[in-house]
Protein backbone atom coordinates (compact mmCIF):
# COMPACT_ATOMS: atom_id res chain seq x y z
CA UNK A 1 0.00 0.00 0.00
CA UNK A 2 1.18 3.49 -0.65
CA UNK A 3 -0.03 7.05 -0.67
CA UNK A 4 1.31 10.56 -1.27
CA UNK A 5 3.12 9.99 -4.53
CA UNK A 6 5.17 12.96 -5.70
CA UNK A 7 6.90 13.19 -9.06
CA UNK A 8 9.75 15.45 -10.08
CA UNK A 9 11.48 15.84 -13.43
CA UNK A 10 15.22 15.19 -13.42
CA UNK A 11 16.46 17.23 -16.35
CA UNK A 12 18.77 19.86 -14.87
CA UNK A 13 21.34 20.21 -12.09
CA UNK A 14 18.73 22.14 -10.16
CA UNK A 15 16.30 19.24 -10.41
CA UNK A 16 18.85 17.08 -8.61
CA UNK A 17 18.82 19.61 -5.77
CA UNK A 18 14.99 19.53 -5.76
CA UNK A 19 14.99 15.73 -5.53
CA UNK A 20 17.33 15.91 -2.52
CA UNK A 21 15.06 18.45 -0.85
CA UNK A 22 11.85 16.50 -1.50
CA UNK A 23 13.39 13.27 -0.24
CA UNK A 24 14.60 15.06 2.88
CA UNK A 25 11.13 16.50 3.54
CA UNK A 26 9.41 13.14 3.14
CA UNK A 27 12.12 11.37 5.19
CA UNK A 28 11.47 13.77 8.06
CA UNK A 29 7.68 13.30 7.72
CA UNK A 30 8.06 9.53 7.85
CA UNK A 31 10.30 9.97 10.91
CA UNK A 32 13.41 8.25 9.63
CA UNK A 33 16.29 8.68 12.07
CA UNK A 34 18.74 11.47 11.25
CA UNK A 35 21.37 9.01 10.05
CA UNK A 36 18.84 7.18 7.87
CA UNK A 37 17.59 10.48 6.42
CA UNK A 38 21.16 11.36 5.56
CA UNK A 39 21.77 7.96 3.95
CA UNK A 40 18.58 8.11 1.90
CA UNK A 41 19.10 11.68 0.70
CA UNK A 42 22.69 10.82 -0.26
CA UNK A 43 21.57 7.73 -2.20
CA UNK A 44 18.85 9.79 -3.92
CA UNK A 45 21.39 12.43 -4.89
CA UNK A 46 23.64 9.81 -6.48
CA UNK A 47 20.81 8.14 -8.39
CA UNK A 48 19.23 11.40 -9.54
CA UNK A 49 22.59 12.54 -10.90
CA UNK A 50 22.96 9.26 -12.79
CA UNK A 51 19.46 9.69 -14.24
CA UNK A 52 20.52 13.12 -15.45
CA UNK A 53 24.07 12.43 -16.60
CA UNK A 54 23.88 8.88 -17.95
CA UNK A 55 20.15 8.45 -18.53
CA UNK A 56 19.89 11.75 -20.39
CA UNK A 57 17.23 12.95 -17.96
CA UNK A 58 14.13 11.34 -16.56
CA UNK A 59 11.91 11.40 -13.55
CA UNK A 60 11.95 10.69 -9.83
CA UNK A 61 8.89 9.46 -7.98
CA UNK A 62 8.84 9.66 -4.19
CA UNK A 63 6.19 7.85 -2.18
CA UNK A 64 5.44 7.03 1.41
CA UNK A 65 4.94 3.31 1.79
CA UNK A 66 4.01 1.03 4.63
CA UNK A 67 3.55 -2.62 5.30
CA UNK A 68 1.82 -4.06 8.36
CA UNK A 69 4.85 -3.34 10.52
CA UNK A 70 6.60 -0.20 9.38
CA UNK A 71 6.51 2.99 7.40
CA UNK A 72 9.08 3.87 4.79
CA UNK A 73 9.91 5.75 1.63
CA UNK A 74 10.18 4.44 -1.88
CA UNK A 75 11.92 6.35 -4.63
CA UNK A 76 11.84 5.34 -8.27
CA UNK A 77 14.27 6.86 -10.76
CA UNK A 78 13.36 6.28 -14.37
CA UNK A 79 15.01 7.27 -17.63
CA UNK A 80 14.85 6.22 -21.24
CA UNK A 81 18.55 6.48 -21.85
CA UNK A 82 21.05 3.91 -23.11
CA UNK A 83 20.49 1.42 -20.28
CA UNK A 84 23.28 -0.47 -18.51
CA UNK A 85 24.77 -3.34 -20.49
CA UNK A 86 26.82 -4.93 -17.70
CA UNK A 87 25.09 -4.44 -14.37
CA UNK A 88 27.64 -6.34 -12.30
CA UNK A 89 30.35 -4.11 -13.65
CA UNK A 90 28.31 -0.92 -13.10
CA UNK A 91 27.73 -2.00 -9.51
CA UNK A 92 31.45 -2.45 -8.84
CA UNK A 93 32.99 0.14 -6.54
CA UNK A 94 35.11 2.50 -8.60
CA UNK A 95 33.68 1.61 -12.01
CA UNK A 96 32.75 4.69 -14.03
CA UNK A 97 32.32 5.49 -17.70
CA UNK A 98 32.02 9.20 -16.98
CA UNK A 99 35.09 10.16 -14.99
CA UNK A 100 33.23 9.98 -11.68
CA UNK A 101 34.28 8.11 -8.57
CA UNK A 102 32.19 5.09 -9.52
CA UNK A 103 30.54 4.99 -6.11
CA UNK A 104 27.06 6.19 -6.97
CA UNK A 105 25.33 2.93 -7.79
CA UNK A 106 27.29 0.66 -5.49
CA UNK A 107 27.25 3.20 -2.65
CA UNK A 108 23.54 3.95 -3.01
CA UNK A 109 22.81 0.24 -2.81
CA UNK A 110 24.62 0.06 0.54
CA UNK A 111 22.76 3.08 1.89
CA UNK A 112 19.20 1.78 1.41
CA UNK A 113 17.22 -1.29 2.57
CA UNK A 114 15.90 -2.39 -0.82
CA UNK A 115 17.50 -1.77 -4.20
CA UNK A 116 16.24 -2.97 -7.54
CA UNK A 117 17.46 -2.19 -11.05
CA UNK A 118 15.49 -2.78 -14.20
CA UNK A 119 17.56 -1.88 -17.23
CA UNK A 120 17.75 -2.81 -20.86
CA UNK A 121 20.29 -1.59 -23.41
CA UNK A 122 18.65 0.95 -25.69
CA UNK A 123 15.49 1.16 -23.57
CA UNK A 124 16.43 2.86 -20.35
CA UNK A 125 16.93 2.30 -16.66
CA UNK A 126 14.58 2.22 -13.70
CA UNK A 127 15.97 2.01 -10.20
CA UNK A 128 13.75 1.53 -7.17
CA UNK A 129 14.99 2.02 -3.63
CA UNK A 130 13.20 1.71 -0.30
CA UNK A 131 14.26 2.79 3.17
CA UNK A 132 12.24 1.57 6.15
CA UNK A 133 11.89 3.15 9.57
CA UNK A 134 13.63 1.08 12.22
CA UNK B 1 23.56 30.49 -10.62
CA UNK B 2 24.44 30.99 -6.98
CA UNK B 3 28.05 31.31 -5.94
CA UNK B 4 29.75 30.29 -2.74
CA UNK B 5 31.68 33.25 -1.28
CA UNK B 6 35.41 32.94 -0.59
CA UNK B 7 36.55 35.19 2.27
CA UNK B 8 40.12 36.18 3.07
CA UNK B 9 40.63 36.34 6.80
CA UNK B 10 44.18 37.11 7.86
CA UNK B 11 46.38 34.72 5.92
CA UNK B 12 43.75 32.12 5.16
CA UNK B 13 40.84 31.73 2.80
CA UNK B 14 37.59 30.74 4.49
CA UNK B 15 34.76 29.12 2.58
CA UNK B 16 31.57 28.41 4.42
CA UNK B 17 29.17 26.41 2.26
CA UNK B 18 25.69 27.50 3.25
CA UNK B 19 23.64 26.27 0.30
CA UNK B 20 22.68 22.94 -1.22
CA UNK B 21 25.06 23.26 -4.19
CA UNK B 22 24.16 22.34 -7.72
CA UNK B 23 27.05 20.47 -9.33
CA UNK B 24 27.97 23.54 -11.39
CA UNK B 25 28.16 25.66 -8.24
CA UNK B 26 30.62 23.20 -6.71
CA UNK B 27 32.78 23.29 -9.85
CA UNK B 28 32.68 27.09 -9.85
CA UNK B 29 33.85 27.11 -6.24
CA UNK B 30 36.76 24.86 -7.21
CA UNK B 31 37.82 27.39 -9.87
CA UNK B 32 37.22 30.46 -7.71
CA UNK B 33 39.34 29.02 -4.91
CA UNK B 34 42.28 28.20 -7.16
CA UNK B 35 42.23 31.74 -8.49
CA UNK B 36 41.98 33.30 -5.05
CA UNK B 37 44.85 31.17 -3.73
CA UNK B 38 47.09 32.45 -6.50
CA UNK B 39 45.83 36.04 -6.23
CA UNK B 40 46.28 36.23 -2.45
CA UNK B 41 49.25 33.91 -1.93
CA UNK B 42 47.65 32.40 1.17
CA UNK B 43 49.03 29.15 2.54
CA UNK B 44 45.84 27.84 4.09
CA UNK B 45 42.24 27.20 3.10
CA UNK B 46 39.41 26.27 5.43
CA UNK B 47 36.19 24.82 4.05
CA UNK B 48 33.38 24.79 6.57
CA UNK B 49 30.75 22.17 5.70
CA UNK B 50 28.84 22.29 8.99
CA UNK B 51 25.73 23.53 7.17
CA UNK B 52 25.73 20.62 4.70
CA UNK B 53 23.26 17.88 5.54
CA UNK B 54 24.76 15.54 2.96
CA UNK B 55 28.03 15.10 1.08
CA UNK B 56 27.63 12.86 -1.92
CA UNK B 57 30.35 11.50 -4.20
CA UNK B 58 30.30 14.61 -6.39
CA UNK B 59 30.83 17.04 -3.53
CA UNK B 60 33.30 14.61 -1.97
CA UNK B 61 35.31 14.50 -5.17
CA UNK B 62 35.16 18.29 -5.45
CA UNK B 63 36.56 18.66 -1.93
CA UNK B 64 39.33 16.20 -2.76
CA UNK B 65 40.17 18.07 -5.96
CA UNK B 66 40.22 21.40 -4.15
CA UNK B 67 42.64 19.90 -1.61
CA UNK B 68 44.95 18.57 -4.35
CA UNK B 69 44.86 21.72 -6.44
CA UNK B 70 45.55 23.95 -3.46
CA UNK B 71 48.44 21.72 -2.42
CA UNK B 72 49.97 22.16 -5.86
CA UNK B 73 49.55 25.90 -5.35
CA UNK B 74 51.35 25.64 -1.99
CA UNK B 75 48.29 25.98 0.21
CA UNK B 76 46.93 23.41 2.64
CA UNK B 77 43.18 22.74 2.83
CA UNK B 78 41.31 21.67 5.93
CA UNK B 79 37.67 20.62 5.74
CA UNK B 80 35.90 21.41 9.00
CA UNK B 81 32.54 20.84 10.66
CA UNK B 82 31.41 17.60 9.08
CA UNK B 83 28.23 16.39 10.77
CA UNK B 84 28.39 12.92 12.38
CA UNK B 85 25.56 11.56 10.18
CA UNK B 86 27.42 12.81 7.11
CA UNK B 87 30.62 11.08 8.21
CA UNK B 88 28.79 7.78 8.80
CA UNK B 89 27.10 8.02 5.41
CA UNK B 90 30.30 8.93 3.55
CA UNK B 91 32.10 5.89 4.89
CA UNK B 92 29.22 3.59 3.92
CA UNK B 93 29.07 5.21 0.50
CA UNK B 94 32.71 4.13 0.16
CA UNK B 95 34.26 7.55 0.21
CA UNK B 96 37.00 7.91 2.78
CA UNK B 97 38.27 11.23 1.40
CA UNK B 98 41.93 10.27 1.25
CA UNK B 99 44.22 13.25 1.10
CA UNK B 100 41.74 15.52 2.82
CA UNK B 101 42.62 16.92 6.21
CA UNK B 102 39.71 17.45 8.54
CA UNK B 103 39.09 19.20 11.82
CA UNK B 104 36.00 19.41 14.00
CA UNK B 105 35.49 23.15 13.71
CA UNK B 106 36.94 26.34 12.25
CA UNK B 107 39.11 27.12 15.29
CA UNK B 108 40.69 23.68 15.28
CA UNK B 109 41.18 23.96 11.52
CA UNK B 110 43.04 27.24 11.96
CA UNK B 111 45.15 25.68 14.71
CA UNK B 112 45.98 22.78 12.40
CA UNK B 113 47.08 25.13 9.63
CA UNK B 114 49.11 27.19 12.08
CA UNK B 115 50.96 24.12 13.33
CA UNK B 116 51.99 23.03 9.86
CA UNK B 117 53.09 26.51 8.97
CA UNK B 118 54.57 27.89 12.15
CA UNK B 119 56.68 30.53 10.50
CA UNK B 120 53.58 32.22 9.19
CA UNK B 121 51.35 34.27 11.42
CA UNK B 122 48.12 33.06 9.85
CA UNK B 123 45.76 35.47 11.48
CA UNK B 124 48.19 38.32 11.91
CA UNK B 125 47.91 41.75 10.34
CA UNK B 126 48.67 41.86 6.71
CA UNK B 127 51.20 44.63 7.22
CA UNK B 128 53.32 42.56 9.61
CA UNK B 129 56.99 43.16 9.04
CA UNK B 130 58.40 40.53 6.79
CA UNK B 131 60.12 37.72 8.56
CA UNK B 132 63.11 36.36 6.80
CA UNK B 133 63.28 32.63 7.29
CA UNK B 134 66.67 31.46 8.51
CA UNK B 135 68.11 28.85 6.21
CA UNK B 136 68.12 25.55 8.01
CA UNK B 137 71.60 24.22 8.55
N1 LIG C 1 20.78 5.70 -15.38
C2 LIG C 1 21.85 5.18 -16.00
N3 LIG C 1 21.83 4.96 -17.34
C4 LIG C 1 22.91 4.44 -17.98
N5 LIG C 1 24.07 4.12 -17.35
C6 LIG C 1 24.17 4.32 -16.03
C7 LIG C 1 23.07 4.87 -15.28
N8 LIG C 1 23.45 4.95 -13.99
C9 LIG C 1 24.71 4.49 -13.93
N10 LIG C 1 25.14 4.12 -15.16
C11 LIG C 1 26.48 3.54 -15.48
O12 LIG C 1 27.04 3.00 -14.31
C13 LIG C 1 28.33 3.58 -14.05
C14 LIG C 1 28.56 3.68 -12.56
O15 LIG C 1 27.71 4.65 -11.99
P16 LIG C 1 28.09 5.31 -10.59
O17 LIG C 1 28.40 4.19 -9.65
O18 LIG C 1 27.04 6.27 -10.19
O19 LIG C 1 29.48 6.03 -10.90
P20 LIG C 1 29.79 7.43 -11.62
O21 LIG C 1 28.52 8.24 -11.62
O22 LIG C 1 30.86 8.03 -10.80
O23 LIG C 1 30.24 7.08 -13.01
C24 LIG C 1 28.28 4.91 -14.76
O25 LIG C 1 29.57 5.38 -15.06
C26 LIG C 1 27.46 4.57 -16.00
O27 LIG C 1 28.26 3.95 -16.98
MG1 LIG D 1 26.99 8.40 -10.36
Contacts of residue A101 in chain B, CB cutoff 8 Å? 57, 60-61, 95
Tell which CATH architecture fits domain B6-121: 2-Layer Sandwich (3.30)
Mean residue pLDDT across chain B: 90
- pLDDT (tens digit per residue) in A65-124: 999 899 999 999 999 999 999 999 999 999 999 999 999 999 999 999 999 999 999 999
B102 CA: distance to closest CA in chain A (Å)? 20
Q: Where are the domains of chain B?
A: 6-121
Q: Into how many domains does chain A fold?
A: 1
Q: Is the pLDDT of residue B105 over 70?
A: yes
pTM over 0.90: yes
CATH number of the domain residue A47 falls in: 3.30.565.10
Whose C-alpha lies nearest to ligand 1, atom 27? A97
Report CA torsion sign: B24, B28, B31, B37: negative
What separation in Å is there between the alpha carbon of B64 and the centre of ligand 2?
16
Counting residues of chain B whose pLDDT is more than 90, the rounded percentage is: 80
**Cβ atoms of A66 and A79 closer than 8 Å:** no
- pLDDT (tens digit per residue) in B5-57: 999 999 999 999 999 999 999 999 999 999 999 999 999 999 999 999 999 99
**Cβ atoms of B40 and B15 closer than 8 Å:** no
**Can you tell me the distance from the alpha carbon of B87 to that of A36, in angstroms, rounded to the nearest whole number?**
12
- Show the beta-strand stretches assigned E in chain A: 2-10, 58-66, 71-79, 114-120, 124-132
Q: Which residues have CB under 8 Å from B66's CB, separation 6+? A: B29, B30, B33, B34, B45, B47, B77
Cβ of B20 within 8 Å of Cβ of A17? The answer is yes
Verify whether ligand 1 is closer than 6 Å to residue A124 (CB atom). no
Cβ of B56 within 8 Å of Cβ of A24? The answer is no
Name the CA dihedral angle for B91, A58, A73, A111, rounded to a multiple of 10 degrees. Answer: -10
For an interface test with A, which of B49, B57, B61, B95 has the most A Cβ atoms less than 10 Å from its Cβ? B57
Print the domain residue range for A122. Answer: 2-132
Amino acid sequence: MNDDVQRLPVVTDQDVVRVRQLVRTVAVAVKLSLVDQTKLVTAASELARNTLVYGGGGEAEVSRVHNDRRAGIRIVFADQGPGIADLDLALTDGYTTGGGLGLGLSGARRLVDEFEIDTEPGKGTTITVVKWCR
Amino acid sequence: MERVPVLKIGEILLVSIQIDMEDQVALQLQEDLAERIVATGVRGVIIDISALDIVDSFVGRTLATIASVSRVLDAETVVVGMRPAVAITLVELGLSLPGIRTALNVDLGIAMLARQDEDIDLLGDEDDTDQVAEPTP
